[in-house]
Amino acid sequence: MTAAPSPEPTAPRGRVALLSLGGTIFMTQDASGLRATPGGAGDAPITTTIAEAVVTHRPVANIGSPSVRPAHLRQVLELAHEALDAGATGVVLTHGTDTLEESAFLLNRHWERPEPLVVTGAMRPANAPGADGPANLRDAVRTALAPSARGLGVLAVFDGLVHLADRVTKTSSRSVDAFHSEPSGPVALVAEEDLHLVYRPTDRPCTRPELLPAMLPRVPVVALGLGDDGEILDHLSAASADGLVIAGVGMGHVPAAAVPRLRALIDAGVPVVVATRVAEGGTSDRHYDYPGSEIDLLANGAIMAGALPAQKARLLLQVLLSRGADTAQLRDAFSAYAY
């Protein structure tokens, strides 16, 4: 019996620049399956072929994602532009999952190129049984090559799914299916030659190609819930905060006693954006009218975050403040995320 001939190797379809900030995808765990720590692999440049692409790796940092700073992302943008100008088809960034959605959102504010910038990572360390990093990296490279990914901005790829940067959020601290998109679901599924688009966005978010600041304005996030009248707000002022995001309840509600404190900050020149701690549905601007409701907060000068969770509302407010946006411009920018 004659063995079937081996298939001819497929010629590379393009070049992909791989940038890395570390994260679980570059971590190893101990023999007990615990205590994952950064390994040396994240510091070494790699050139390889993945999914019919020549992939050239350039490390930016090898850190846990809670330690990623705007200056790291500024360097990512600079290197990504250099790679595309040198002929790369697309760019992939590996990143820890804890703040991946925040970095993707912030990068998307400054990504004006049609070529995709794809962010991915892993939930399991590199030496763990069933490590998901290799598959996620392969899918991210395929997405960076995909014709249908052009013009979609920054994308997050995980577990075979493609998410828009402005909609993706981490919904599990343990599962390999860790990311979902609110309210639309993933924009596409990864395939060998191209993406299977589920839908095509009607527009790109307003982007500005100017350089991302190495530091962003001071915007704390304060959660207000049952029995909390916001006394901590008495310690904030225009001297200590450039803006404020409230993680409220329901459709963007806070305890009634917190409203005068928020109004005092607004009158002092501190913009206040109200998000919700609820995972789906976002904030409203018209459903409830009682002390502490969204209509009451709007009447007192607050801005509603709409579909943005508190962590993304904070970043958008920081970016806008870094550009010198006034109140009308802040309201206009957040209105794009209103339900």
Where is pLDDT greater, at 339 or 322? 322
Is 80 exceeded by the pLDDT of residue 210? no
Residues 245, 312: Cα–Cα separation, whole Å = 10
Of 69-78, 111-120, 149-158, 204-213, which gets the smallest average pLDDT?
204-213
| CATH 3.40.50.1170, the chain: domain bounds | 14-197
Is 90 exceeded by the pLDDT of residue 111? yes
Contacts with 43 (C-beta within 8 Å, 6 or more apart), sequence order: 59, 62
| CATH 3.40.50.40, the chain: domain bounds | 221-335
The neighbouring-strand residues paired with 57 are 18
Is 90 exceeded by the pLDDT of residue 10? no
Q: What is the pLDDT of residues 220-253, one digit of tens each?
A: 999 999 999 999 999 999 999 999 999 999 999 9
Is 60 exceeded by the pLDDT of residue 6? no
**DSSP string covering 267-314, please?**
HTT--EEEEES-SSS---SSS--STTSHHHHHHTT-EE-TT--HHHHH
Residues 322, 214: Cα–Cα separation, whole Å = 11
What is the dotted CATH code of the domain comprising 221-335?
Answer: 3.40.50.40
Cβ atoms of 261 and 232 closer than 8 Å: no
pLDDT band, residue 20 (cuts 50/70/90) = very high
CA end-to-end span of the chain: 65
CATH number, domain 14-197, options 3.30.390.30, 3.40.50.1170, 2.40.30.30, 3.40.50.2000: 3.40.50.1170
CA triple 195-198-202, angle to 5 deg: 105
The 3-state DSSP class for residue 188 equals: strand
Q: What is the pLDDT of residues 21-38, one digit of tens each?
A: 999 998 888 888 888 888
Whether this model's pTM surpasses 0.75? yes
Contacts with 216 (C-beta within 8 Å, 6 or more apart), sequence order: 70, 315, 318, 319, 321, 322
**Active site members:** 24
Contacts with 226 (C-beta within 8 Å, 6 or more apart), sequence order: none
